[in-house]
Amino acid sequence: MAAEDEFNVCDSCKKGRLISSDSMEEMKFHQWSKKGYVHCRVMITVGVCDFCGARSLEPGIDRILDEAFQREYDKLP
């Protein structure tokens, strides 16, 4: 199996492949910081397994979440 294919294998069933969704979904999260909880909202695409239907965050999402956190953190007094 090629290295690129390993990222596309479903973590839940290990049989299917993750297919990128064409639609964007809103994700809300909060994270603790030295200024208290920081509440964030981002729009992301979610991968869906073509075998079992499990939903999974796609690789590279960490950068988007980090940017959202930093943007909202900078707004706090």
Q: Which long-range contacts (CB under 8 A, 24 or more apart) does 59-62 make?
A: 59/7
Residue-wise pLDDT for 4-46, tens only, equals 555 688 989 999 998 887 778 999 999 999 999 999 999 998 8
Q: Which domain holds residue 70?
A: 3-75
Tally of domains in the chain: 1
The pTM (predicted TM-score) of the whole model is 0.71
> CB–CB of 65/57 below 8 Å?
no
pLDDT of 21 reads: 75
pLDDT of 39 reads: 98
Report the C-alpha gap between 71 and 20 in whole angstroms: 26
Mark residue 70 as left, alpha or beta (left: phi above 0; alpha: psi -120 to 50; beta: remaining): alpha
Which one, of 47, 36, 38, 34, lies nearest residue 67 by Cα? 38
pLDDT of 52 reads: 96
Reply yes or no on whether the pLDDT at 77 is more than 60: yes
Report the C-alpha gap between 37 and 30 in whole angstroms: 6
